[in-house]
């Protein structure tokens, strides 16, 4: 059993079009489909899911705050 599974809060700040692409990706993965991501404190990619995220629209730059949870594939 792997007890070293990580959880990351990841915040994206970018133009609306870019944030919308990330939002669509997360929506398509529906909170349960795993995706590959390279955490900033690791040297190897891992599988994660994202069941929680929120989007803040504020003019030129929007913000998407996510919670990435590592999963065992």
Residue 1 pLDDT grade (very low, low, confident, very high; cuts 50, 70, 90): low
Burial category of 38 from C-beta neighbours within 10 Å (exposed 0-12, middle 13-18, buried 19 and up): exposed
> What is the pLDDT, as a whole number, of residue 60?
85
Q: Is the distance from CB of 32 to CB of 47 less than 8 angstroms?
A: no
- pLDDT tier at 31 (50, 70, 90 boundaries)? very high
The values of phi and psi at residue 50, to 5°, are -135, 105
CA atoms within 13 A on the CB side of 8: 16
Residues 47 and 36 sit within 8 Å (Cβ to Cβ): yes
Averaged over 20-38, what is the pLDDT? 97
Domain ranges of the chain: 7-70
Question: Residue 31's closest CA among 72, 62, 66?
Answer: 66
Q: What is the reported pTM?
A: 0.90
């Amino acid at each position: 059993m792997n007890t070293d599974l990580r959880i990351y809060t990841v915040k994206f700040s970018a133009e609306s079009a870019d944030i919308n692409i990330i939002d669509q990706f997360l929506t398509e993965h529906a909170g349960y489909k795993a995706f590959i991501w390279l955490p900033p404190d690791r040297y190897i990619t891992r599988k994660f899911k994202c069941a929680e995220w929120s989007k803040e629209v504020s003019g030129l730059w929007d913000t998407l705050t996510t919670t990435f949870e590592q999963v065992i594939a």
